[in-house]
Chains A and B, each alone.
Chain A
């Protein structure tokens, strides 16, 4: 659903459940993608990254999937915890990164107790 206050897509899941956050990126020439987590009042924090020559990468409780055909990224968080509540951004970058990251809109993940 949509959170009117933040104007961000909102995903609400029960603690312990798995969550999937989706992102559409814009530049087919982008070759590196990152998921960031931003807690209230803090800067974005790196979660996981993936290069364009991969379609899946796993970390601790997180998995990123990349579908270059449709320019789509997803972030799967397993066994969600209260501390996972935050805004999640996907970001894309091309080449050496001199142009900086291009961020997606962000999704507000709420973990219900």
Chain B
């Protein structure tokens, strides 16, 4: 069974469109995240979310918004897409404990904005 899954795997769209990427985890984790990986492979946190708190990286444009219908899902909605939004987006989840805080990553969604 896939621990963290994302759909779609590839997303090609025109500028100014609105799109969503879905993420689901079946690990029972409390916290989920979205990361962006640019063309230079640099990974950067965008959001972290649990049932109590949403933490937003201040550099993320407000066109990006996470939506969590329940604990196992954290979807990423993007309004008015721009060329610079082209990247690979990774969802992750974790369950912090005294043993550690390993984050499990999904396979990624490659977004291409034309």
A residues whose Cβ falls under 8 Å from a Cβ of B: 6-8, 32, 34, 36, 38, 41-46, 49, 51, 87, 89, 93, 96-103, 105-106
* Choice from A41, A43, A97 contacting B96 with Cβ under 8 Å: A97
Within 8 A of A (CB), among B25-73: 31, 33, 35, 40-45, 47-48, 50, 53, 55, 57
CB distance from B5 to the nearest CB of A (A): 10
Q: What 10 A-B pairs are tightest by C-beta distance, nearest first?
A: A100-B45, A43-B105, A103-B43, A97-B101, A100-B48, A7-B40, A44-B105, A96-B96, A106-B41, A100-B33
Question: Which chain A residues border B108 with CB–CB below 8 Å?
Answer: 41-43
Cα distance A93–B90 in the bound complex, in angstroms? 17
- Number of A-B residue pairs with CB-CB distance less than 8 Å in the complex they form: 71
Contact A8 B35 (CB under 8 A): no
Tell me the nearest residue of chain B to A100, going by C-beta. Answer: B45
Question: With A and B bound together, what is the CA distance between A57 and B51 in angstroms?
Answer: 33
Q: Assess whether B103 is interfacial by the CB under 8 Å rule.
A: yes
Give the distance in Å from the alpha carbon of A51 to the alpha carbon of B102 in the complex. 12
Cα separation A38 to B106 with both chains bound (whole Å): 12
Q: Which of B43, B45, B55, B104 contacts A89 (CB 8 A)?
A: B43
